[in-house]
Amino acid sequence: MRTKSQRYADAVMPNVLAVANAHPADFQKKYKTLTKKAGSLVRNSGLIQTLAFFCARGQKEHEEHHQLLLDHLEQELQGLGLISQDEKLYQAVREAEVPQYMVFTREVLGLLNWHKRLVETLIINDEQQPQVQEEAVS
């Protein structure tokens, strides 16, 4: 049996690897900064407010990293079976009763913690450094 932390790490790893391997350095830096601040945003402002912020900012030019992080969280929660495959995270959280809203908040904070850990390891700010290859971390 796998721990919740292991399942979170497995859910987050492919998404962070995709950013590390397929996006330009400036995008990676923005994504890394956002993931490092996202947990504080949730704790200070609330989950629904943070998701609304990601939705709004993600529509702006040069701010696509907000939408990507929102998409990653949605995919990860779907993969963990916490929301259905056809359900949108923002909608599920907006319609949730208080106990379920608290569960969503706890789960998203757990995922964001893994995002923060993995971006520190996988996204290198120096453009001269080689990008991480998937087989190197498997």
Q: Confidence band (pLDDT; 50, 70, 90) for 132?
A: low
| Per-residue b or e along 63-76, where b marks 16 or more CB atoms closer than 10 Å to that residue's CB | ebbbbbbbebbbbb
Q: Confidence band (pLDDT; 50, 70, 90) for 138?
A: very low
Could you say which architecture CATH assigns to the domain 26-125? Orthogonal Bundle (1.10)
Range with lowest mean pLDDT among 15-24, 81-90, 127-136: 127-136
60: left (phi over 0), alpha (psi -120 to 50) or beta: beta
Tell me what the pLDDT averaged over the chain comes to.
89
| 130: pLDDT strictly greater than 50 | no
| 133: pLDDT strictly greater than 80 | no
The residue extents of the domains of the chain are 26-125
- Phi, psi for residue 81 in degrees, rounded to 5: 80, 20
The average pLDDT across 89-114 equals 96
The average pLDDT across 52-67 equals 90
Q: Confidence band (pLDDT; 50, 70, 90) for 59?
A: confident
